[in-house]
């Protein structure tokens, strides 16, 4: 019998989880260096900021004290692991048709009646399981994560990296300028945080030990998802 979660999926899942924790915590440390966010070409005068970010406590940052240079080093290492892992999982999902088979939505998935039934299933803790197929809300969530949030974290991260603007000005321009890319990077990061908070809550509500063990050992299913 094939595993519900193939080895490539499990390896990526845990490596990506560690990379995201490193990126998020080091990113909060970097945020503490300048807590103002801007759009366009503005980026130094607080009067031009569209918002002011709170100062994050040491327990939430990496390292656990303010050190911009060390935080950037951690962030750079995490970014390479994250970006290469994302490339690898996309190759695996396309090659094994996991994205097309289990995640990509069809026009019928967006019918109000289908969406309503999926919402009712979640509210009543009836979650898809057994053959690695997801209901429509899971498809939409995973599709948005793999197709929008994760790739945009890479692109906006590149756009705000030192030296990228002279080498790839088109990328920065498409995102509306370096400061716009910085604001988008911050917003996408917190959108990912929200997704993983919901993801963890769903795991806790649906036989968590089985779910976690399945992502470690593979679980049982008629199809491997990647």
Q: Which tens digits make up the pLDDT trace of 83-108?
A: 999 999 999 999 988 888 888 988 88
Q: If you average pLDDT over residues 140-169, what whole number do you get?
A: 91
For residue 226, what pLDDT band results from cuts at 50, 70 and 90? very low
Please say if the pLDDT value at position 128 is more than 70. no
Q: How confident is the model at residue 3 (pLDDT cuts 50, 70, 90)?
A: low
- Residue 220: per-residue pLDDT: 63
Give CA–CA dist 65/43, Å, rounded. Answer: 25
Long-range contacts formed by 146-150: CB under 8 A, 24+ apart: 146/89, 146/90, 146/93, 146/99, 146/103, 149/188, 149/191, 149/192, 149/195, 150/86, 150/192
Domain boundaries, the chain: 7-217
pLDDT score, position 68: 96
- Length of the chain as a residue count: 226
Both structure tokens of 29: 């440390």
Cα–Cα distance list, 19 to 95, 188, 226 (Å): 24, 16, 20
Average the pLDDT over 217-222 and give the result.
64
Bin 125: left if φ > 0, else alpha if -120 < ψ < 50, else beta.
Answer: left
Q: In the structure encoding, which two tokens stand for residue 93, read together?
A: 């999902």
Q: Report the pLDDT averaged over residues 170-199.
A: 94
Greater model confidence, 50 or 102: 50
The residue written with tokens 């990509």 in the block is: 104
**Average pLDDT in the chain:** 87
Question: Is the pLDDT reported for residue 69 higher than 50?
Answer: yes
Q: Classify 7-217 by CATH class.
A: mainly alpha
Joined together, the tokens standing for residue 41 give: 């070409």
Separation of CA 105 from chain center: 19
Least confident of 40-44, 51-55, 96-100, 161-165: 40-44
Confidence band, pLDDT 50/70/90 cuts, at residue 62: very high
Decide if 132 contacts 101 (C-beta within 8 A).
no
Query: With bands split at pLDDT 50, 70 and 90, how would you rate the model's confidence at 132?
Result: very low
Distance between CA atoms of 32 and 225, rounded to whole angstroms? 40
């Amino acid at each position: 019998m094939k595993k519900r979660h193939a080895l490539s999926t499990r390896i990526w899942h845990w490596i990506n989880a560690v990379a995201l924790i490193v990126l998020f915590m080091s990113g909060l440390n970097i945020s503490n260096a300048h807590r103002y966010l801007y759009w366009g070409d503005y980026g130094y005068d607080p009067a031009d900021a569209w918002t002011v970010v709170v100062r994050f406590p040491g327990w939430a940052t990496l390292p656990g004290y303010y050190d911009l240079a060390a935080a950037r080093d951690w962030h750079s290492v995490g970014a390479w692991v994250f970006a290469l892992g994302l490339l690898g999982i996309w190759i695996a999902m396309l090659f094994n048709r996991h994205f097309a088979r289990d995640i990509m939505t069809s026009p019928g998935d967006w019918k109000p009646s289908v969406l309503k039934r999926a919402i009712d299933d979640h509210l009543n803790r009836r979650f898809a399981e057994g053959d690695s197929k997801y209901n429509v809300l899971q498809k939409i969530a995973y599709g948005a994560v793999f197709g929008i949030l994760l790739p945009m974290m890479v692109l906006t991260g590149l756009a705000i990296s030192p030296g990228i603007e002279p080498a790839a000005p088109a990328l920065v321009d498409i995102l509306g300028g370096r400061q716009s890319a910085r604001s988008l990077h911050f917003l996408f990061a917190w959108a990912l945080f929200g997704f993983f908070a919901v993801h963890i809550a769903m795991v806790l509500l649906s036989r968590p030990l089985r779910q976690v063990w399945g992502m470690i050992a593979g679980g049982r299913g008629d199809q491997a998802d990647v």
